[in-house]
Structure 1
């Protein structure tokens, strides 16, 4: 099949594009190379994709008439592109245009594809709100602009399924870690602080926050299992993550154990909208996708540290 992956040079999008290619699919990536973080990492990811024969189109989904720039013979869309996370540097307009308008434009494009089998939206546990421990049937209570706009994007996608205009589903991901994690995310920042003898900025109260830290390879396992199950998952919301919880403090200690040194801590003001607890309820994913994440926190951290050493400690 010919598959379009949006946000293809990002963290999870790049891993998914590579996996799809390894499964024998023709993969086309699209990314706007947003300046949200350094383009150095994005170019590194792009090179990895190009080396594997995956083409990457530099294009912003907020631009209209995507059909003029993107292929017309796409069978599957995996939509990762978004304004991510909770950041003081991101405005509401950033979240609104990147998460809602961009998704609407992509849907307009998808509706013109004659062979499209499925539109897979990539969502987030932030949709649930300050605590994300629930099955997909629970009413969402997002507590950030990120969560609110990702919920809206999700509903735009699922609306097309309800209208019988295309098959679609949405995957809510939980606290993904691993190689290529964005530089502002917890583990990349912890690893960088450890190797560069800098203090890690720990948000007040967050040491006891609980997270389903899920290795990116386990997430991708669930994402690609959608293929071939179009009728089964059409219109569905599915959680992907690990059921194992760890505190932020345990995450810090895992990095310290792998690298073999203590990390200095700088306590900073808490972030509004930061989740207190995430624990993936994956009963539905197990039933529909035979999903079964296996990678432990320590294994995931080891792989991420190894990636960091190869690419940033030359």
Structure 2
């Protein structure tokens, strides 16, 4: 199949590109190399996916002439591109334009084409709100600009499915970690600070937060499984993550165990909108997608530590 991946040079997008190539698909990626974090890190990911044969387009979904630059025949679209996380330096406009306007511009292009792709929207557990423990059919209560705008993007894709314009589904991902994790995320910062004897900034109360920390390759298993289940996926939402819960404190302790050293802590005020608990209810994905994450937190973190040491 001909597959398009937006946000292809990002953390999960780049891993998905590699898996799709391994499965025999022809993959085109698009990424705007956002300054949200160091371009050099995305460039590492970009070189990795280009090395395995991915064609990578550098363009901004909010402004680029998409009808002209995107391949004419796309069978499946994996839409990762978004303004991520909870950031005090990001405006509402950053989230709105990157997450909602960019999604609508993609839909506008594919609505006019004869050959329409199956669209897999990559969403987030932040859609659920401060406690992400719900099933897919329960009402979400997002509490951050990120969660609100990702819910908006998800509903745009599903609206096109409801109207029988373009088939598609949405995947809500839970606390993904592993090699290539963004530098602002928990484990990359823990590993960096531990190896460099720097204090890790810990937001007040977050050591007690519960998370479904999910290894990236387990997440990719679920993402690519949608290709073979398009009929049952159309119009649906799926949670993808592990059912195992760990506190942030346990994550810190596991990282310290792997590094063989204590990590200094710099205590910071609590962040508004941060989730206190995520626990992935994956019964639906298990049943319909045969999704079955297996990687333990310690095994996944060992792989991430090895990646960090090899690259930095």
Q: For residues 251-290 of structure 1, what are the structure 2 equivalents within 5 Å?
A: 251-290=251-290
Contact 1:117–1:230 (CA under 8 A) maintained in structure 2: no
1:262-309 Cα shifts (integer Å, max 9, x gaps): 000010011000000000000000011000000000011000000000
Q: CA RMSD in A?
A: 0.7
Contact 1:210–1:278 (CA under 8 A) maintained in structure 2: yes
Distance across 1 between alignment mates of 2:229 and 2:221:
14
Partner residue, 2:74: 74
1:213-248 Cα shifts (integer Å, max 9, x gaps): 000000000000001211111000000000000000
Contact 2:110–2:117 (CA under 8 A) maintained in structure 1: no
Give 1:210 deviation, angstroms.
0.1
Q: For residues 41-190 of structure 1, what are the structure 2 equivalents within 5 Å?
A: 41-63=41-63, 65-190=65-190
Distance across 2 between alignment mates of 1:156 and 1:281:
23
Distance across 2 between alignment mates of 1:116 and 1:262:
52
Distance across 2 between alignment mates of 1:91 and 1:176:
24
How many corresponding residue pairs? 312
**Corresponding position: 1:294 with 2:291:** no
Tell me, what secondary structure is at the counterpart of 1:5? strand
Gaps of 5+ in 1: none
Tell me, what secondary structure is at the counterpart of 2:57? strand
Give 1:97 deviation, angstroms.
0.2
Give 1:114 deviation, angstroms.
2.7
Give 1:64 deviation, angstroms.
5.3
Contact 1:99–1:153 (CA under 8 A) maintained in structure 2: yes
Q: Which runs of 4+ in 1 moved over 2 A?
A: 112-117
Tell me, what secondary structure is at the counterpart of 2:262? coil
1:117-168 Cα shifts (integer Å, max 9, x gaps): 4100000000000000110011000000000000000000000000000111
Partner residue, 2:26: 26
Contact 1:210–1:276 (CA under 8 A) maintained in structure 2: yes
Q: For residues 190-229 of structure 1, what are the structure 2 equivalents within 5 Å?
A: 190-229=190-229
Distance across 1 between alignment mates of 2:71 and 2:27:
11
Contact 1:65–1:109 (CA under 8 A) maintained in structure 2: no
1:160-189 Cα shifts (integer Å, max 9, x gaps): 000000111000000000000000100000
Contact 1:64–1:105 (CA under 8 A) maintained in structure 2: no
TM-score by length of 2: 0.99
Gaps of 5+ in 2: none
Distance across 2 between alignment mates of 1:291 and 1:114:
32
Distance 1:254 1:113, change over 3 A: farther
TM-score by length of 1: 0.98
Contact 2:129–2:140 (CA under 8 A) maintained in structure 1: yes
